[in-house]
């Protein structure tokens, strides 16, 4: 997906503040945070949205959700955090590469 911003971030063509990376997923801070801590976890595979995920994506979706509390704690959200997955234009999705927002810790500075 050559025109996908998040694929470009995965490829290192656009810089990001990384939180975590392995062979399957990347987590990085949102450029416009709406909380003191706000990062996103994305699959390295281009999946446009949750509505475009299929049974073959079950493992990666589970991996992303299981990573959320671990990374949230590492980022200082010991007391808890929120998750958000905007899906489709009607769901407020702006970047069409599946991402799970993880945020908390009060309003952004
Ligand atoms: P959506 O509305 O699609 O769920 O959220 C997309 C998010 O991606 C927004 O919160 C926006 O701030 C973030 N975003 C868009 N472009 C970039 C970028 O180039 N770098 C980073 N780090 N975040 C981005
Ligand atoms: Zn993509």
* CATH, residue 83: 3.30.428.10
How sure is the predictor about 73, in pLDDT bands with cuts at 50, 70 and 90?
very high
Burial state string for 1-11 with b = 16 or more CB within 10 A and e = fewer than 16:
eeeebbbbbbe
- Which residues constitute the domain of residue 95? 5-104
* Distance between Cα 28 and ligand 1 center (Å): 10
Nearest CA to ligand 1 atom 24: 31
Task: Work out how many domains the chain is built from and give that number.
Answer: 1
Q: Give the DSSP letter of residue 34.
A: S
Report the predicted TM-score, pTM, of the whole model to 2 decimal places: 0.97
95 lines ligand 1 (CB under 6 A): yes
Is 109 part of any domain? no
16 lines ligand 1 (CB under 6 A): yes
Which residue blocks in the chain are alpha helix, DSSP H? 5-10, 58-74
What are 47-69's pLDDT values in tens digits?
A: 999 999 999 999 999 999 999 99
Catalytic residues: 99
What are 25-37's pLDDT values in tens digits?
A: 999 999 999 999 9
49 lines ligand 1 (CB under 6 A): no
Is 50 part of any domain? yes
Is 43 part of any domain? yes
């Amino acid at each position: 997906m050559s025109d996908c911003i998040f694929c470009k971030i995965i490829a290192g063509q656009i810089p990001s503040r990384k939180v975590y990376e392995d062979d399957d997923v990347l987590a990085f801070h949102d450029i416009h945070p709406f909380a003191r801590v706000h990062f996103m976890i994305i699959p390295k595979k281009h999946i446009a949205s949750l509505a475009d995920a299929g049974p073959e994506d079950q493992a990666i979706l589970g991996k992303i959700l299981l990573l959320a509390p671990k990374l949230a704690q590492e980022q200082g959200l010991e007391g808890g955090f929120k998750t958000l997955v905007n899906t489709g234009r009607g769901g407020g999705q702006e970047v069409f590469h599946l991402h799970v927002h993880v945020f908390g810790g009060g309003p952004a500075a």
